[in-house]
Structure 1
Amino acid sequence: MTAGLATLLVIAKEPVPGRVKTRLCPPFTPEQAAALAEAALADTLHAALGMPARRRVLVLDGRPGSWLPAGFEVVPQVGGGLDERIAAAFAACADTGPALLVGMDTPQLTPELLAPATRPDSWPPGRAWFGPAADGGFWALGLAEPDPALVRGVPMSTSTTGLVQRRRLVAAGLAVADLPVLRDVDTAADAAAVAARQAPGGRFAARLAGLREVVVR
């Protein structure tokens, strides 16, 4: 039964060396960084399969690979900045009810972490869900009434992205409910911390452990 549930959007890049997780290099090579990105994405997608949802949609820059499990629709990202790509993802499902978007940078994501936002009663009119990231961004954004204007124009990849985005939601008169703060995997230190303390049993941690050069700070 899907009545009252949100469409779950995962926005991601195909894990191609030199195009993903470039801040992991050094100490990792582009190929190792891409392998870590693939593992993080796989962890995220499999976690999403354990969450109740109206639909599960991978909004992808690139082509799907063996890392993609069954159960997802795949739609291409539009061009432009990240704000435009997120806005377009929300616009594409604006007529089908609530939508909840997550990225591929938090392999520690679990169905339990998103449980408050994935119940049928999680989406009263005017509700927004916001998952802040430790670096000042955000890892989750949910809208009961998806409106691309709520995201378009927000400066992305800055230390105040999350602050600006949340203020945009509040200014629009939405009732914002916060999810836990998570640490994005951007640097080698992030990777080590997340694998060791937040997701030690996942694909990401196993892939990190298998690499020859692991940085622990």
Structure 2
Amino acid sequence: MLTASHVAIFSRPPIPGEVKTQLIPMLGADGAAALYQRLLRRTLYTVCNTGCPRSLWIAGDSSHPMLRAVSREFAIALRKQRGANLSARMKHAMRTMLVETDAVAIVGADCPILDAHHLEQMFAALRDGAEVAAIPAEDGGYVAIGVSNAERARLNAVLDALFDNMPWGTAQVMACTRERLRWISAECHEQPALWDVDRAKDLERLESITNEADERGL
């Protein structure tokens, strides 16, 4: 019997100089890596609060001590991303997890305001008939993308539309996603856009919510 939903977190080893590279001029390589670890831990906490089965998909060496530590702490399996590029790696993860579940959501580790309710809304939309559910990002990408299971030909069409030759890292990702899904008449449920931490101005917002949490004793 298939499980109802699964959350796949996409991440990488928090190696200084290889993560959050746009923030290195402000934070330094070590500071950017420390921020990445902090955001990943926050995402893991959020995903665990959904109660859904989950997995942590690593691009690169999954033996990094921090990854091993969070695997134990959050009781989350480490999986290796497979494929020549991000498109192939996301399709592989989706296909792998849809063998055993009704719906899969892939999330990154960059959004500090993502909460369990956002993910629960995604899965509710997929249960109610949407083929795709998305949480857009303010920078034109998306924070999370979810897909419901379907017969093979239809699922192939949806995954091809979502991932093949997508202009990753640009402000056109979500717009391109919408257009491609319209081409194949796939229903997509979208939530309001959230912000993630990629640029200098995002650090100011992150500091603001961190200070607010400190004031509330969180």
The TM tier, using the shorter chain, reads: 0.7 to 0.9
| 2:26 corresponds to | 27
Greater shift after overlay, 37-46 or 7-16?
7-16
| 2:55 corresponds to | 57
Residue ranges of structure 2 left out of the alignment (5+ in a row) = 150-154
| 1:192 corresponds to | 204
Q: Verify: 1:42 aligned to 2:41, yes or no.
A: yes
Give, in whole Å, the separation in 1 of the partners of 2:30 and 2:106: 27
Q: Verify: 1:89 aligned to 2:93, yes or no.
A: yes
AA aligned to 2:181 is: L
AA aligned to 2:123 is: T
The 8 Å contact of residues 126 and 173 in structure 1, kept in 2 or not, is answered as no
Alignment deviations for residues 67-112 of structure 1 (CA, whole Å, 9 cap, x no partner):
3433312110114222222111112123222111110111221112
Alignment deviations for residues 150-197 of structure 1 (CA, whole Å, 9 cap, x no partner):
312212111101111222223222211112211121123212213414
Please state whether the residue corresponding to 2:17 is helix, strand or coil.
coil
Structure 1 or 2: larger helix share?
2
Give, in whole Å, the separation in 1 of the partners of 2:129 and 2:167: 27
User: Identity of paired residues, percent?
Assistant: 23
| 1:101 corresponds to | 106
What is the root-mean-square deviation of aligned Cα atoms in Å? 2.4
Give matches, 1:1-217, under 5 Å.
5-53=4-52, 55-61=53-59, 62-63=61-62, 64-68=67-71, 69-96=73-100, 97-119=102-124, 122-145=126-149, 147=156, 148-150=159-161, 151-197=163-209, 200-201=212-213
The 8 Å contact of residues 40 and 105 in structure 1, kept in 2 or not, is answered as yes
CA 1:112 to 1:200, structure 2 compared with 1: closer, same or farther past 3 Å? farther
Give, in whole Å, the separation in 1 of the partners of 2:84 and 2:204: 32
Q: TM-score, normalised by structure 1?
A: 0.82
Give, in whole Å, the separation in 1 of the partners of 2:144 and 2:185: 19
